[in-house]
Amino acid sequence: MQKKRLIQSMLALGLVTLLNACGGDSASISEQPDPELVNYTNGCSDYDQRCQNFVVDYPIAGLDFECQKDTVNHFMTEIDKNVAIGGCRRGDTVKFAIQTPAAQAKILLGNVDLSKINPNYVSGQPTQIGLMHIAAAMTGKDLVNSNQTDDTFRVMVALVRMFQALGIDQDANQIGDVQPITLDSAVKKKLSELTASVGVNDFLDGSYVTKLRPWVDVEQIDEAQAEAVALQLMNLAKVNVYSATMVPYKFGTVDIGGFFGTGGGGKDALANLYLINTRDGHTLGYTVQWTGVPKLPDQKIDVTFKRLWLISQYAPEKLTAAAQLDWVHPFSNKITQALRFTQPNKPADYLRLYQGQFVNSNTVPGNAFVYKRSTGDNNPPQDPKVYGAWDQSFNGERFSGQLDIFKTNPATFLDRRVFKSEAKVKSGEEYIFPLYANLIFSFDGDKTRQPIKVGIVIDENGDIRSNRTADSLSSQQCPNIDPQTYRDDYGVQQYRIGTTGAANYDKTDKSLTLRVILSDPSFAPLDGALLGLNETFVLAGEGTQAVGFTSGGIRINLQNLLVNSNVNRGITIRGWGKYGPIDATWGNMYATMQKVYNDSNPNQTTNEQKELVKNMGGSLDIELAPCYTIKKKR
């Protein structure tokens, strides 16, 4: 039999994001001090490689800003594709304010250095600026604690009160809900009623409440309500897809490494990882790992990559990260609590991701080379704890090593025109969330196999949990849940399984994007299924088809519920590709990696391993649960 040769994974270090909007496509062109740099009313566009687009987490149209390197122009953010977007030169400082030529008084909001948040900018991936960054720029202090003893958090809460109150005045949002607001000329004209400008000291000592009253009554929002929204925004900054791969290749003479390590007795370890963060701050997902002593083939190979042979010589192990809080600090981007992965019935075994810091806002580097490439810095970090590190206890053995983690696919606020929950609508209006539905999984390669239904709930906050019975993956009922125990009204244990990315609104497409990981053995045979991650992983075998999986983007269209108030016509689910909508699909990293082992060891595979490979992926459909109804707010 011809030996199979594993080719390096086709994973790019470049980041992918849902937020591919470029600023100002429809805006008017303004004066430009540099004849080679085109500026729009919301700044430059990163179609020009020297421009750095940014988005502000609170969706504000008309937020004033100036670019420090541009001494001529004045700009304002614009809402484009669910985000408030602007642009300055790469590495510039953005000077935020609320102001108008019609008034001397202004609201000074701090100068945000783009080079500190996102020093190695990639076009098409806007820098994420949060109110926490604006507050930190105002105080000159990093946000450390999310309570009022922290000056930066106190200022952030004050900013939230101001923007929430403006939203109430504009009928843009209910209290506690983040929706787009507009600072147009009429709103700014009222700044002339202020007796003095408002700055950081006013936000710190509380005098902003009185000083802003002629313009907006912030006392419509109490501090507890504003704190809850501030925490909501801080959690939103972490709602991403996180991945760590084996990345078995060299850059020159440098072994990039990826997610790997060593144990005793000459053993190596390799792993692949996918995680998602929910809107309530939980992290969940799983890793697939190989450990052992790789046996090298007779022909000459690069021994640097001998660990790669583990994939074909040892069966993969799956380790699950049950939903955990506070893995990464939202401002410092440091791993603050180790993320633990475990296997059922092995209480002494675990794998921990215990060290690392996201640099450039998107990468935990595993070594100096990746750090330099991510930051553009020619020097290694002063603090080695920036590097990603893991350790493990497995069958009485110890392993440890490095890893690079990549953070992609940021989420946005949920447009209330699509995401209608009780908290987002007025009395007498209909709302559709929580939404109870069944995801219907079909399997590639076996049309005779019965599809499997998995009950889900998209809750009122935009997170997704299971809805199952004690003996079935789906349910005919629509129970509530205890938020502490995650048991439903019938005592059945439910699981956090995902979240929403964005709500899209136009004439025919009122949809919601989903990202889901089924990472508990109780979901068998779908344990390991990945949905909506916008990720592709490919391994190739010589003379064979490529082996891999794709977890493309998916969205559910809610048109029938929103326009017709009709549950009978149901909802639909679609994926999207380069040229438009496509069939929705799912993939399974765990089953795919098992296939690599099975193909290389046909005489050594167990029946269980053969069955696992049948669950590599397939098509996806959706239906409303029979108990689901549209409700009206009292």
Q: What are 5-14's pLDDT values in tens digits?
A: 333 332 332 3
Instruction: State how far the Cα of 226 lies from the Cα of 206, in Å rounded to an integer.
Output: 14
Cis peptide before 434 (omega within 30 of 0): yes
The helix or strand, by DSSP H or E, that contains position 400, with its residue range, turns out to be strand 397-402
- Nearest CA to 204 out of 145, 138, 143, 112 is that of 138
Contact 59, 51 (CB under 8 A): no
Which two structure tokens, joined as six digits, stand for 230? 């501030």
Question: Which are the contacts of 491, defined by CB distance < 8 A and separation ≥ 6?
Answer: none
DSSP symbol at 371: H
- pLDDT of 303: 62
- What value, to the nearest 5°, has the Cα angle with vertex 249 and ends 243 and 253? 130
Instruction: State how far the Cα of 615 lies from the Cα of 303, in Å rounded to an integer.
Output: 33
Within 13 Å and on the Cβ side, how many CA atoms surround 610? Answer: 7
Q: What is the CA radius of gyration of the chain?
A: 25
What is the identity of the amino acid at 586? W
- What value, to the nearest 5°, has the Cα angle with vertex 198 and ends 194 and 201? 145
- Nearest CA to 352 out of 289, 409, 292, 309 is that of 289
Contact 19, 83 (CB under 8 A): yes
Torsion of CA 509, 283, 288, 527, to 10 degrees: -60
- Nearest CA to 286 out of 610, 591, 539, 590 is that of 590
What is the identity of the amino acid at 495? Y
How far is C-alpha 220 from the geometric centre of its chain's CA atoms?
32
DSSP-derived pairing of the beta strands 43-44 and 78-80: unpaired
Instruction: State how far the Cα of 472 lies from the Cα of 470, in Å rounded to an integer.
Output: 6
Which two structure tokens, joined as six digits, stand for 546? 């490529």
Instruction: State how far the Cα of 54 lies from the Cα of 26, in Å rounded to an integer.
Output: 17
- pLDDT of 347: 82
DSSP-derived pairing of the beta strands 39-40 and 529-531: unpaired
Tell me the pTM: 0.92
Helix and strand numbers, DSSP H then E, in the chain: 12, 40
| Residue indicated by tokens 């983007």 | 553
Secondary structure class of 419 (helix, strand, coil) = coil
Question: Which are the contacts of 366, defined by CB distance < 8 A and separation ≥ 6?
Answer: 257, 258, 259, 387, 388, 402, 403, 404
Q: What are 550-578's pLDDT values in tens digits?
A: 888 999 999 999 998 889 999 999 998 88
- Nearest CA to 260 out of 320, 228, 307 is that of 307
pLDDT-flagged residues of the chain (< 70): 1-36, 247-255, 299-304, 539-546
Strand partners, 88: 52
DSSP symbol at 451: P
Which two structure tokens, joined as six digits, stand for 492? 């059945």
Residue 13, Cβ density class (10 Å: 0-12 exposed, 13-18 middle, ≥19 buried): middle
Contact 233, 57 (CB under 8 A): yes
Strand intervals (E) in 59-203: 60-61, 64-67, 75-76, 78-80, 83-89, 93-98, 107-113, 127-129, 181-182
DSSP-derived pairing of the beta strands 93-98 and 60-61: unpaired
Instruction: State how far the Cα of 470 lies from the Cα of 476, in Å rounded to an integer.
Output: 12
Determine phi and psi for 554, rounding to 5 degrees: -135, 150
Residue 28, Cβ density class (10 Å: 0-12 exposed, 13-18 middle, ≥19 buried): exposed
Secondary structure class of 67 (helix, strand, coil) = strand
